[in-house]
Amino acid sequence: MPNSEESQSPAGRSGSSFWTGFDREEQRRMEEWLNIAIEKNMFEIYYQPLYSICDGNFTEAEALLRLKGPDGVYIPPDRFIPVAEETGQIIEIGCMVLERVCEYIRYLLACRINIDTVSVNLSVVQLMGEDAVPRLKKIIRGSGISPNRILFEITESILISNYTLIAEKIRELNRSGIQFALDDFGTGYSNITNVIDLPFDVVKIDKSLIWDSMKNRRCNIMIRELTRTFRNINLIVTAEGVETEEHDRFARQCGCDKIQGFRYAKPMPVSRAADYFGRCAVSY
């Protein structure tokens, strides 16, 4: 569930000094701390609003998990998430995140605040669980919100584990109205076949490609053509990691639909995020 811009987020790499490495002792301490955090509901959810180029406002967001260590300093997600996945704790954590996101959407709608979708990162461990599909559907159904307000983000690395099984679970969830986004496209195992074969609604172009396009002509051309191709098959394209005016201009020239990045909005706590939705970014 870590976000693509975690290095500069409140849970960035300069986080808690309580965790100094990835040895067995740290893993044991991390696992114990995660158990405490699950039991005492210590996790925080930050939201990073996404800017719609067409509409000129913010009506979507990505939910990002945050956790403080015993010293009160945020632990980088790339430290606690792998441990949670290895121990299976991510299953309970993931369900907790989805429940709280659904509650938040319901609250926003009750307040007549304009919110279309909130994206939630879905772990392969969570998705591979025997009761994963019915449990996820039950959480959304029980919240009373429409399933199409939830956008599950997955990375292509998930598909390597057991493509046939995971693909079927994605299709079953999609049939119930839940949307899917292919996250971090352009890193690791990018495969156009997966984009075509699976019911994705959104493709998120990884920040590394956006940044490389500023200085690499071949990358620049490739991203422009890929964006055009994705839009031609009715996929929504989001540019990740947009931090500068140059990034912003490039995303617009490519024809991207959404922008996610510090130029428009950083990850923020619940109390601040609600002020963004439906608001126009007049300064851009």
Q: What angle do CA 68, 71, 75 make, to 5 degrees?
A: 35
Does the residue 165 lie in any domain? yes
Which of these ranges, 108-112, 118-122, 192-196, has the smallest mean pLDDT? 192-196
Domain count, the chain: 1
Please provide residue 271's backbone torsions phi and psi, each rounded to the nearest 5 degrees: -60, -30
Q: What is the mean pLDDT of the chain?
A: 89
Does the residue 12 lie in any domain? no
The mean per-residue pLDDT over the stretch 50-68 comes to 95
Q: At what angle do helices 163-175 and 132-143 cross, to 10 degrees?
A: 20
Which of these ranges, 138-142, 173-177, 242-246, 271-275, has the smallest mean pLDDT? 271-275
What is the three-state SS of the chain?
CCCCCHHHCCCCCCCCCCCCCCCHHHHHHHHHHHHHHHHHCCCEEEEEEEEECCCCEEEEEEEEEECECCCCCECCHHHHHHHHHHHCHHHHHHHHHHHHHHHHHHHHHHCCCCCCEEEEECCHHHHHCCCHHHHHHHHHHHHCCCHHHEEEEEECCHHHHCHHHHHHHHHHHHHCCCEEEEEEECCCCCCHHHHHHCCCCEEEECHHHHHHCCCCHHHHHHHHHHHHHHHHCCCEEEEECCCCHHHHHHHHHHCCCEEECCCCCCCECHHHHCCCECCECCCC
Give the amino acid at 89: Q
* Domain span holding position 160: 22-273
- Residue 101 near residue 150, CB atoms below 8 Å: yes
The mean per-residue pLDDT over the stretch 103-108 comes to 96
Does the residue 125 lie in any domain? yes
- Residue 181 near residue 206, CB atoms below 8 Å: no
Confidence of residue 22 (pLDDT cuts 50, 70, 90): low
The pLDDT of residue 163 is 87
Q: Give the CATH number of the domain where residue 203 resides.
A: 3.20.20.450
The mean per-residue pLDDT over the stretch 28-34 comes to 95
Does the residue 238 lie in any domain? yes
Q: Which of 36, 29, 30, 59 is nearest to 47 (CA)?
A: 59
Can you tell me the distance from the alpha carbon of 61 to that of 120, in angstroms, rounded to the nearest whole number?
Answer: 9
The distance from CA 13 to its chain's CA centroid, rounded to whole angstroms, is 18
Does the residue 14 lie in any domain? no
Distances (CA, A) of 244 to 55, 96, 240: 20, 34, 12
Does the residue 104 lie in any domain? yes
The pLDDT of residue 277 is 87
Which residues share a beta bridge with 154? 182
The pLDDT of residue 188 is 64
Can you tell me the distance from the alpha carbon of 155 to that of 264, in angstroms, rounded to the nearest whole number?
Answer: 24
Does the residue 15 lie in any domain? no
Does the residue 9 lie in any domain? no
Whole-structure pTM value: 0.89
Higher pLDDT, 158 or 137: 137
Q: Please, which residues have CB within 8 angstroms of residue 21's CB and are 6 or more apart in sequence?
A: none
CA dihedral (2, 131, 119, 202) positive or negative: positive
Can you tell me the distance from the alpha carbon of 149 to that of 61, in angstroms, rounded to the nearest whole number?
Answer: 11
Confidence of residue 4 (pLDDT cuts 50, 70, 90): very low
